[in-house]
Structure formats: structure tokens, C-alpha cells
A and B are shown apart, each in its own frame.
Chain A
């Protein structure tokens, strides 16, 4: 079946630095990818919609200059957390829409970010 891969699965970075998380659709082309954030024991919160070849659409309250999203190809979207702070520590999950019948949406394995 369709697979979405995220990398890295875990990353620790120092406060003030930037970190990039990749989301790849491995066996299908994804014109649209989504980035979510999940706090411990909570549900997923949509951060932004990533469209190939155009600017991402951010949800209300999400800082676009802090969470940079680039969807350069039909199989890759990246999320860069800039000038990270401890409160950015979270579980970040991407998803991709196949566009096939059912508009199946698959999720990556998630990336744990810890900012120290």
C-alpha cells in the first residue's frame, strides 16, 4: 500500500537553531501534503497545507516565518522549524493525499522534536 516516510524520526536540537523534517511519499505522487503537530496525549492539530509548486497555506495561529514549508516536488515536502525554542518540542506528523478513489490520506511515522 501507499507509504509516507518521515525523516528524522527523532531529533534533538539546541535552542535557537533550525531543524528540517522531511516528508516523502514513497510510491505515489502527492500534490498535497499536510503537516500536523501533536502534543502528548492530545489530538492532532493541523499546522499547514503544503501544495506542490506553490506557497503553503497556514492555519490560523501558526507562524509561517517560524514553520517554513517547502513542497518542491510531488514526493517531498519539508518542514523547517526556525530558531527553535523548548516550547516547539512536539511530535510532528505529515500526511499525503493520494488523489485516488477515496482520496486516501496516509500519515508518516512522525518526528519527535526536542529542543534543549
Chain B
């Protein structure tokens, strides 16, 4: 079945780049998403990438997709303390259901 895995925790210094990694198993995934969740809040869509792309950049965010290895990453440039949150990657199945990873808690140190 489908499975999405992420590392649980990442700590970076303010101003550095953060790279959050994700692996997935469903090779038929059409879209892959990155969401941000702050404590007690819903999920904020950060970006998504279509499976036939290998890179997408949106301001400070860069998504890299290696379809062969089923590996997805999110790079946040110039990480700020306001970026501290939990980041979820998710793959979209053919029925548009999202399968989520366990989430990566990003801590940005001043």
C-alpha cells in the first residue's frame, strides 16, 4: 500500500537553509504536496509539484523530486523563526486522497 516517510525532527540556525526530506512508495502518485502546520492550527498549503517535474521554486521554497528514487525534498532558504512548525509531505492518489507522512518538526534557533 501507499506509505510516506519523513524524518521526525530538524533543527537549524536562523538564516541557514533547511532541507526536509520525504520518501514515498506509490509510483502512480500524480501530485506531491508540502503542508505547514503550526501548533493547534490547520494545514497551510505551501507548494505542490506535478510528478513529471523534477524541480519547482517559489520564493524561498524549492521542491526537488526524484521520481526514480521516490524522493521529495523541501528546501527553505534563509530560514526564519516564523518557519518553526511541523511540515508534512503528502502524495495524492488517483482518487485525490492524500497520504501523509508523519511530519517533520522544524525548530529554528535564533
Chain A residues packing against B (C-beta within 8 Å): 6, 32, 34, 42-44, 46, 49, 93, 95, 97, 102-110, 112
Do A49 and B103 have beta carbons less than 8 Å apart?
no
Do A43 and B98 have beta carbons less than 8 Å apart?
no
Q: 12 A-B Cβ contacts within 8 A? A: A6-B42, A44-B98, A46-B97, A49-B95, A93-B42, A95-B43, A103-B96, A104-B48, A105-B92, A108-B42, A109-B41, A112-B40
A32 to B93, CA, bound (A): 14
List CB contacts (< 8 Å) of B66-110 with chain A. 88, 92, 95-103
Q: Which of A93, A95, A105, A112 has the most CB of B within 10 A?
A: A105
Residues of chain A within 8 A of B42, CB atoms compared: 6, 93, 107-110
Do A34 and B102 have beta carbons less than 8 Å apart?
no
Interface size, chain B (Cβ < 8 Å): 23
Smallest distance from the beta carbon of A31 to chain B beta carbons, Å?
10
Do A42 and B45 have beta carbons less than 8 Å apart?
no
Chain A's closest residue to B86 (CB) is: A41
Do A102 and B102 have beta carbons less than 8 Å apart?
no
Residues of chain A within 8 A of B103, CB atoms compared: 43
Residues of chain A within 8 A of B100, CB atoms compared: 43-44
Main secondary structure of the interface of B (DSSP, over half): strand
Smallest distance from the beta carbon of A18 to chain B beta carbons, Å?
23
Residues of chain B within 8 A of A105, CB atoms compared: 33, 45, 92, 96, 98
A103 to B99, CA, bound (A): 15
Residues of chain A within 8 A of B102, CB atoms compared: 42-43
Smallest distance from the beta carbon of A76 to chain B beta carbons, Å?
17
Residues of chain A within 8 A of B31, CB atoms compared: 102-103
Smallest distance from the beta carbon of A45 to chain B beta carbons, Å?
8
Residues of chain A within 8 A of B99, CB atoms compared: 46
Contact of A97 among B30, B35, B50, B96 (CB under 8 A): B96
Residues of chain A within 8 A of B92, CB atoms compared: 103, 105
